[in-house]
Structure 1
Amino acid sequence: MKAGAVLSVLCLVFPACYTTCQEVKVRPGQNATLECRGSSDLMISVVQWRKPDLKPDSYVFFYRKPHSYENYQHESFKGRVDLREPSMKDGDASVILRNVSISDTGTYECEIITSNTRSGERDVKEFKHSINLTVTDADGGDEAAGDKEGGGKVEVRAAVSVSAGLLISIIIVTAIVALINYRRHKSCWISSS
């Protein structure tokens, strides 16, 4: 069994071992859609879009029910970021970053806080998502091309977030347990014969 297959099986068994990471590539002056989606059956209370290299109290976009707050935005994003779906229908907290420039290149993080008040109890859940935005004026053909309205070509890949040491430890422990069980059963088979 190949290592990639083993890793895929482990990620199915332990779903917390991976997160999605989206790659978005656009050219300067275009719009970039930064996708983020929470649960479609829960009410969105808070949406926070951050860029880690900004000050901790600055946001790319900030929403707290019932509206967004531009005064929490970093100066470079004011007037350039809007929700793609203003009603956030079906948990869509994606934003459109307008008129991108090379300085917008970087990692963006979306955090959605939802609540379920239908059951009578307050049930809060968080959804986190990371996006790598690349703004380049290099001629990359169709791959780098976005569009003025739509937001660039999107490539989604699984980013493994489990350390290699943990993965190797799980494999080693499993192999040792299997070997011990084999030896016990083998000695039982030999002595009963």
Structure 2
Amino acid sequence: MVVFLGWTLLSVCLLVCASQGQKNFTAESGQNVTLTCQARKNIQTVKWSRADLGDEYVFLYRDGRETLVHQHPSFKDRVDLKDKQMKDGDVSLILKNVTINDTGTYECRVVETGTSGLKPISIIYLSVVDQPRRPVGLIVGLSVSGVLIVAAVVGFVIYRKYKG
């Protein structure tokens, strides 16, 4: 019953998210992630934001250059456009060395030349999880055990050969 209910809730969430045009993406901490956004050509302004940052933004490109004035400190020197020339309207964002704190809903908005107002283009929910830790103690313990077992077998074989 619990498994069925869990799958039902998951299915409902996937349907709701898909109907709103939101993309979901999961990454491991430490990875570089590309958040995709495709607009038309003749782009004047690109703004990547996250609602929980208030007035600060993730990335802002305006009038031919990147603007850093109100960029949230956690994104300084960690974000850049995938294609700085924005060929074919590609305004995808590269987020470097993601951490769990980067989890959230990112929104890409664009102003095209001759239009006014930031138009939402893409909404992406990014979930960042810790990298699975490798059990170093277990690996070392199994390696040492393996070496001891091989040594014991070799020792037994040598003992039997010289005794017999």
Query: So what's the TM-score if we normalise by structure 2?
Result: 0.64
Q: Rg: which structure is higher? A: 2
For structure 1, the residue ranges without an aligned partner over 5 or more in a row are: 1-17, 116-121, 140-193
Q: Percent identity between the aligned chains?
A: 42
- 2:28 corresponds to 1:27: yes
Tell me what 1:54 maps to.
Answer: 53
1:64-143 correspondence runs (5 A): 64-115=62-113, 122-124=114-116, 126-137=119-130
Code of the residue aligned with 1:50 in structure 2: it is: S
Instruction: Between the two structures, name the one with larger relative contact order (CA 8 Å, sep ≥ 6).
Output: 1
Shift of 1:20: 2.1
Q: Which residue of 2 aligns with 1:36?
A: 37
Shift of 1:72: 2.3
Q: Quick one: distance in 1 between partners of 2:47 and 2:67?
A: 10
* Native 8 Å contact 1:83 1:95 kept in 2: yes
Residue 104 of structure 1: how far off its partner (Å): 0.5
Aligned residues: CA RMSD: 1.7
* Corresponding residue pairs, total: 113
Distance in 1 separating the partners of 2:47 and 2:20:
18
For residues 67 and 24 of structure 1, the distance between their equivalents in structure 2, rounded to whole angstroms, comes to 28
Tell me, yes or no, if the aligned pair for 1:113 and 1:127 is still in contact at 8 Å: no
Aligned-residue offset at 1:136? 0.6
Structure 1 residue runs of 4+, over 6 Å off? Answer: none
The DSSP-based 3-state class of the residue aligned with 1:103 is helix
| Residues 5-35 of structure 1: CA deviation (Å, up to 9, x unaligned) | xxxxxxxxxxxxx542111111011111111
Higher helix share: 2
In 1, Cα distance between equivalents of 2:69 and 2:96: 18
Report if the CA contact (8 A) 1:82-1:96 is conserved. yes
Distance 1:102 1:71, change over 3 A: same
Q: How far has the Cα of 1:58 moved from its partner? A: 0.4
CA contact (8 A) 1:51 1:107 kept: yes
CA distance in 2, matches of 1:71, 1:98: 20
